Structure 1
Amino acid sequence: MSTTTIEDVKIIDIPKIEDNRGNLAVIEKECIPYPIKRVYYLYDVPSDAYRGGHAHKEQVEFLVALSGSFTVTLDDSVNKKSVVLKKPNKGLLIPTGIWRELEDFSSGSVCLVLASDVFSEADYIREYKDFQLFKRT
């Protein structure tokens, strides 16, 4: 049974160093609560496209809008909430057992994902009815 809820999803401030030549954001081990095992990013996503539509059984993810903005809708099978990511110094920590959908990508947006594990199809829950069952059992 996955006992995670919407309340377990967190916005985390990414430390930044401000400089008149440009800002530098740093994600190190103190920033997120797990070792990073996979990094990937979404880009050139059409504004009317939809990404995500799944949950993870074991993997934790940290999403950052490196450029532009997009909306992440989160669902724990009881409650839903939407978060707009639009700043490269704020990330969204999504624990296991939370359904996520990404949409409303602005032109030129880039979504960086720092994952707690390598890709494993067995870790994905891709059907919402299976997600509801996962949350109950």
Structure 2
Amino acid sequence: MLRELVTVDDIEIGIKADNWEEAIRKSSERLLEKGAIETTYVDSMIKVLNENGPYIVLGNHIALAHTRPEFGANELGLSFSTLNPPVPFGAKHFDPIKLIITFSATDSDSHLMLISELATILSDTGIMEKLFDAPTKEIFYEQLLEGLN
């Protein structure tokens, strides 16, 4: 499913951000451009993070930016943004964040296979190091697909 959903154009390398809020706004731009999400979706991600803390931080240096579908998710969407320099999100043991995966889903079920594929990639520390260090979006994309094999 990831292979069909994500293209090289869904990847940004080396985003510069002064803080986690700016990082989320910048990492959301691709999904906004595609129409997968509305600006209300981005605002909701930031609001919920302010209210609940860094719940989107999944592990070492990785954040999965998302919120509830009713806040402006128009379609299933996924984008990847590496941060340079990495940005702290307030997750003590997992900061700073090097990779933000921005995710949108329109319901509670249609994305489960996609999340399963992502989990396989995220649990492979070798692949993750290659993704963190990818110098171009083309190389990032190749490494991402290698993680599915």
Assess same fold via TM > 0.5.
no
Q: Which protein has the bigger strand share?
A: 1
Q: Which has the higher contact order (CA 8 A, sep 6+)?
A: 1
Greater share of helix residues, 1 or 2? 2
Q: Which structure: larger Rg?
A: 1
TM-score by length of 2: 0.24
* TM-score, length of structure 1 as denominator length: 0.26
